[in-house]
Amino acid sequence: MDDQKDAARVPRLSSNGKEQACRDRSRLPELLESAAALPAAHAEDGEPIRPGRIYAAPPDRHMLVEGGHIRLSRGPRQHFTRPAIDPLFRSAAEFFGPRVIGVVLSGTGSDGVAGLDQILRAGGIAIIQDPRDALYPEMPQSAAAAVQPHHLASRDELPDLLRRLSGEKVATRAPAATRQRSPDMDQLERPIALTCPECGGALREIGGTAVKEYRCHTGHRFGPKEVLDGQIEEVEHAFGVAERVLNERIELCRHMAEDARAGGRAMGVAHWDRLQNDAEAQLHVLQQFLGRAPGHAFEEPGNGHATQTSREHSKA
């Protein structure tokens, strides 16, 4: 497709459906480039959207659009995955409205359904791969059951359909740059209920008594101070788990880098060194937050391996 036709609609934005086990570069861009004969790359945060180019969400990052630029976010996972399709579809619908073409392809789960609905509501075009033609039909089936797409197309029909639709002129609305981005990706909402310190169930306030109390549906009861103590204990436990896991991750990466170095695998060494540096940076931030000396670890006698002491948590 030439740039003039691509300029009629937003360049295609691709979000790989499942996050990878480790934050490494995937091969998705080169696979897309070989299949589409268009330049493809992992998106960079803040880069401008250019016509005639394919952008793929990097592993472990949601990809969104803001005006004419791409924004990457490590916001909460959606549908058990990051990157997810819905954040991309929602942001594209918000900023580009009728210029957006959303396509839900083969996959599992229901990711993409709510986002495709937003594209429809904004005046864009919704396309769903025919589930009978999909290797994994669950995702297109979920989308087809929830929304009425403009096109239900087979894999072989999709290329010509997208070429034709990308060349159509569409009415535009107010410039995207004047709109503010939706805060729902990174902004916390007010919780609808407190959590029981004993079982994790929802707490409700018990009315009709002089002393404020909270009760969960299984019968546990607490005063406000006890709920607060339980919250503090849970935070302490979560920090302890995070510290332990990051310290173990550093050690695992160190072992794997040494193994790759012994085997002469330069790319493997670079990969594991990068993951180790990431984990060390995260542990440093956590320990600074906890008021500890960075790099506080203990060596196991005789082997020189760093280990982190575990924390005991008891309930009053």
Is 245 inside any structural domain?
yes
Taking a C-beta distance cutoff of 8 angstroms, is the pair 126, 102 a contact? yes
Is 276 inside any structural domain?
yes
Would the pLDDT of 241 be above 50?
yes
Domain endpoint, select from 151, 174, 197: 174
**Mean per-residue pLDDT of the chain:** 83
Q: How confident is the model at residue 186, as a pLDDT?
A: 65
pTM of the complete model: 0.68
Q: How far apart are CA 128 and CA 116, in angstroms?
A: 9
Per the structure, how many domains does the chain have? Answer: 2
Query: pLDDT tens across 171-213, in order?
Result: 765 444 445 555 456 678 888 899 999 999 999 999 877 788 9
Would the pLDDT of 268 be above 70?
yes
Helix (H) or strand (E) holding 306: strand 306-307
CA-based Rg of the chain, rounded to a whole angstrom? 25
Would the pLDDT of 300 be above 80?
no
Would the pLDDT of 21 be above 50?
no
Q: What percent of the chain has pLDDT over 70?
A: 80
Q: How far apart are CA 295 and CA 63, in angstroms?
A: 33
Say which CATH number the domain at 149 has.
3.40.50.180
Is 209 inside any structural domain?
no
Closest CA to 42 of 63, 73, 18: 63
Domain endpoint, select from 115, 139, 174: 174
Tokens 């009728």 locate to: 98
Q: How far apart are CA 10 and CA 280, in angstroms?
A: 39
What confidence category does residue 250 fall into, taking pLDDT thresholds of 50, 70 and 90? very high
Q: Which structural domain, as residue segments, surrounds residue 123?
A: 3-174
Mean pLDDT of 37-58: 93
* Same-domain check for residues 164 and 295: no
Structure tokens of 40? 């493809």
Taking a C-beta distance cutoff of 8 angstroms, is the pair 243, 223 a contact? no
Q: How far apart are CA 304 and CA 17, in angstroms?
A: 41
Query: pLDDT tens across 107-165, in order?
Result: 999 999 999 999 999 999 999 999 999 999 999 999 999 999 999 999 999 999 999 99
DSSP E strand stretches across 84-199: 101-104, 125-129, 151-153, 194-195
Mean pLDDT of 84-90: 96
How many CB atoms are closer than 10 A to CB 162? Answer: 20
